[in-house]
Structure formats: structure tokens, C-alpha cells
Amino acid sequence: MSDIEPQAVEGLLDAAFGSDRFGRTAYRIRAGADAVPALSFALVEDGALVGTIQCWPVAHLAPDGTITPLVMVGPVAVRPDLQRGGHGRALMAHMLEAAESLADSALMMIGDPEYYGRFFGFDADATGAWDLPGPYEKRRLLARAVNGHALPTGTGMIGPR
Ligand SMILES: CC(C)(COP(=O)(O)OP(=O)(O)OC[C@H]1O[C@@H](n2cnc3c(N)ncnc32)[C@H](O)[C@@H]1OP(=O)(O)O)[C@@H](O)C(=O)NCCC(=O)NCCS
């Protein structure tokens, strides 16, 4: 994403999620973290930003102190006037291909299982005992093993590494 103005990404995220997005639980999980460059991409057409995907280093913290690193996927966002044109799928597929060889841990995200399960193999099977630092719907807390990294299944709080 090096040649994309950070402000352009922020503008796209405002358009896709609304400018009140910073109160979302996802933002609390990755508070203070920098995106993982190898797993964060921008989709540019004719010099204009069309979509973006960012991933973040987070972790599952068990009550006994065990820390399991995870990568949080998202936000995934496509410019509202260009949604439903396959761009979101392209961004996710590109990120997952990179994650297959580069991810340092399994993946988690907050999202619609109807979308991320159907196309990308995410589900809530491992996340039932997880907790987040803010409100969320259990069915939308999704995860996926990748690059040989398994998912923690026990009780734990998800937060910054
Ligand atoms: C969600 C988003 C990234 C998808 O990207 P997109 O380019 O619009 O979608 P695509 O064209 O790649 O995929 C479209 C397919 O996914 C389905 N789909 C899209 N969003 C969906 C959702 N939230 N739930 C279920 N299905 C969904 C569409 O029905 C379509 O299926 P079809 O091909 O059978 O018609 C995009 O719509 C967006 O930015 N939305 C606002 C921000 C957001 O909610 N991001 C996700 C949370 S991190």
C-alpha cells in the first residue's frame, strides 16, 4: 500500500463504514497496532482507490497467561458505488494467498459468516469461548487456521499483542 495516501484509505473506510467506525469493537482489539504490511493491500483502478484490506497483529490471552498470536483480518472495504462487483472477493483472495505462506499465526475477524464462511472458509467453531473488549455477536466472531497455524479453542480475551 506504499503508494496510497493514508488519507485516501481513511476516506474509503469512512464511506464504507461511517465516520463513527472508531468506536467499534474491532478498533479496540487492535488498539495501538500497526497493520501487517505483507497482508494489507489496496486495489487501485485508473489511479483511484477502489478497495482496501488491512490485517493486524493481535493475540488470544488465556486465563493462565498463555498468549497465542493471531492475525485480525479487516476492515475489508470497497467503495460504495463499486460494491458487489467482485472487488471484495478479489481483495480477500489476494490476502489469503499471501497468508498461506506469510501469516505468522491463524486468522480471526468479526464479519458476516454468510460472506466469509461461504467464500473464504471462516467459521465460529473455535471462537465460542473467546471474548472481545467490547460488544459483538458470537456468530460473527470468525476464525480460520492458515499456514500451519492452528486456532486456540479455549477461554481467552482477544486484544493487541
Ligand atoms: C463487504 C464488502 C467488502 C464486499 O465487497 P464487494 O466487492 O461489495 O462484494 P463482492 O462483489 O466481492 O462479493 C459479492 C458477493 O458477496 C455477497 N455479499 C456481499 N456482502 C455480503 C454480506 N455482508 N453478507 C452476505 N453476502 C454478502 C453478495 O451477495 C455477492 O454474492 P453473489 O456473487 O452470489 O451475488 C463490501 O460490500 C463493503 O465494503 N461493504 C461495507 C463495509 C463492510 O461491511 N465490510 C465488511 C466488514 S469488515
Burial class of residue 18 (count of CB atoms within 10 Å of its CB; 0-12, 13-18, 19+): exposed
Nearest residue (by CA) to ligand 1, atom 26, is: 115
Atom index in ligand 1 nearest the CA of residue 77 equals 39
Residue identifier of the C-alpha nearest atom 43 of ligand 1: 77
In 3D space, the residue among 37, 91, 27 whose CA is nearest the CA of residue 58 turns out to be 27
- Show the beta-strand stretches assigned E in the chain: 41-45, 48-61, 67-78, 106-110, 130-131, 141-144, 156-160
Is residue 145 predicted with pLDDT exceeding 60?
A: yes
Quick one: which atom of ligand 1 is closest to the CA of 114? 25
For residue range 53-108, list pLDDT tens digits in order.
999 999 999 999 999 999 999 999 999 999 999 999 999 999 999 999 999 999 99
CATH number of 6-160: 3.40.630.30
Q: What pTM was computed for the model? A: 0.92
Alpha-carbon span 128 to 143, nearest angstrom: 11
**Ligand 1 lined by 114 (C-beta under 6 Å):** yes
* Residue ranges of domains in the chain: 6-160
| Alpha carbon of 88 to ligand 1 centroid (Å) | 6
Q: Are 127 and 141 in contact (CB under 8 A)?
A: yes
